[in-house]
Amino acid sequence: MSKVALVTGASSGIGRDLALMLAREGYSVALVARRVEILEKVADDIASIGGRAEVFKADLSMYSDSSNLVRSVVEKLGRIDVLINNAGFAIYGPIDEINDEDIQRIFWVNVISPTILIKEASRYMKKAGGGCIVNIVTLAVYTPIPWLSLYNATKAALKALTDTLRIELSPYGVRVIGVYPGYVDTDFHRNVVLTNSSMKHRWSVRGSSIAPVLRSSEVASEVVKRIKDPGFNGDIVIGARYRLLRWLAHHFSGLVVRAIKNSYINSYIKIQG
């Protein structure tokens, strides 16, 4: 029986590329997202290269869709070897403009649902004597960016979960990999939830020579390479310049915070008046 990978957010961007690449590596893939018609298309693409994929429609902001997912995947595909918590989105705007439903939704999709999936999947993996959990975090956790507070908070929680469970699950042969992408060219940036102020001052984070634009396929191929390496149980930062940025943010956090604060006061605050 071939190995099974569950990929959340497989309808787009990094998740779609991960699903296709894992299928090429011989994994049967459980494709999870809300837009089922797009998942069917990804499943067709996988079938056309001789792979197997099953579609699981789930809204990961809902408890019912999150809690039954791993069991449904094991019932349909027979096992679970790899869980990739990739689905996620951002809200951009001042904290007092964000509505309560969006606050709950971002914590559910980015943290609570991944936690439930890890809890369920790790039971199977421990019994099976091993497995691999991958959490797609973000390099933004190293930089406290105003108006991205909830995104950073959810991803910081996912980072803490990743670091802690890596230790907790290692005696059982379950690896826990954290992925810290910089700017990746996907629909993520178009899907950012905006508030009144950020609609006026549009989402404008872009790649630059210091922080170059990554392709989702670059991220996915690095992740798949590490999943295949049984000796790897750590963090992935894609690209030498992003590795340098993480190092600088870690070792010179005071300077980074001061620079962000100055830029915030000089741009955002002036715009808000």
Ligand X SMILES: NC(=O)c1ccc[n+]([C@@H]2O[C@H](COP(=O)([O-])OP(=O)(O)OC[C@H]3O[C@@H](n4cnc5c(N)ncnc54)[C@H](OP(=O)(O)O)[C@@H]3O)[C@@H](O)[C@H]2O)c1
The residues assigned a catalytic role are: 151
- Scan residues 185-244 and list those touching ligand X (CB under 6 A): 186-188, 191, 216
Q: How far is the CB of 89 from ligand X (least distance, A)?
A: 5
Rounded distance between C-alpha atoms, residue 251 and residue 192, angstroms: 30
Determine, following the binding rule CB under 6 A, whether residue 162 of this chain makes contact with ligand X: no
What are the Cα distances from residue 16, in Å, to 43, 201, 217, 219? 10, 30, 9, 11
DSSP 146: T
Q: Which of 89, 92, 124, 147 binds ligand X (CB under 6 A)?
A: 89
Q: Which of 5, 13, 80, 147 binds ligand X (CB under 6 A)?
A: 13
128: buried, middle or exposed (CB in 10 Å: 19+, 13-18, 0-12)? middle
Rounded distance between C-alpha atoms, residue 54 and residue 115, angstroms: 22
x-or-dash pattern for ligand X, window 135-154, by CB under 6 A?
A: -x-x----------------
Q: How far is the CB of 61 from ligand X (least distance, A)?
A: 4
Determine, following the binding rule CB under 6 A, whether residue 45 of this chain makes contact with ligand X: no
What are the Cα distances from residue 158, in Å, to 41, 108, 154, 198, 264? 30, 11, 6, 25, 26
Determine, following the binding rule CB under 6 A, whether residue 131 of this chain makes contact with ligand X: no
Rounded distance between C-alpha atoms, residue 106 and residue 177, angstroms: 22
What are the Cα distances from residue 125, in Å, to 171, 176, 268? 12, 12, 47
Determine, following the binding rule CB under 6 A, whether residue 9 of this chain makes contact with ligand X: yes
Nearer to ligand X, 128 or 145 (CB): 145
> How far from chain centre, in Å, is Cα 89?
9
Determine, following the binding rule CB under 6 A, whether residue 183 of this chain makes contact with ligand X: yes
Amino acid type, 172: Y
Determine, following the binding rule CB under 6 A, whether residue 184 of this chain makes contact with ligand X: yes
Nearer to ligand X, 61 or 195 (CB): 61
- With CB under 6 A as the rule, give the number of residues binding ligand X: 29
Residues that bind ligand X (CB under 6 A): 8-9, 11-15, 33-35, 58-61, 86-89, 109, 136, 138, 181, 183-184, 186-188, 191, 216
